[in-house]
Amino acid sequence: MIMDNQKLNEEKLKMWEGKLKKLHQEYDEIMKKRGEAMAMGDLRENAAFQMLDEDSATWRVKIEEVNKIINKIKKDLEGKI
């Protein structure tokens, strides 16, 4: 039973690490677009920049949450080895 849980946790870890990688890629793309929007001028009137700025904040929170999940799984794995 312990081995089954360990295997399950290892699979969860792989899945969440894959999700984290994808989130980082999406975040990098948002930041690139945000930089391009910044170059367009007045940021107060730049709707594209404002939307991308909100998106970047959302992705940072998502990344933080996934990191917490990954750290918990790693802690669980360390405790069962």
Exposure class string for 17-35: b at 16+ Cβ within 10 A, else e:
eeebeebeeebeebeebbe
Half-sphere exposure of 52 (CA within 13 A, CB side): 19
Q: What is the pLDDT of residue 22?
A: 98
pLDDT, tens digit, 9 for 90 and up, residues 8-45: 999 999 999 999 999 999 999 999 998 888 888 776 67
Q: What is the pLDDT of residue 46?
A: 79
Question: Once rounded to an integer, what is the mean pLDDT over residues 53-73?
Answer: 97
Pure H helices in 1-81: 2-38, 47-80
Largest CA distance in the chain: 60
| Res. 72 pLDDT band, cuts 50 70 90 | very high
The distance from CA 13 to its chain's CA centroid, rounded to whole angstroms, is 14
Domains and CATH numbers, the chain: 2-80 (1.10.287)
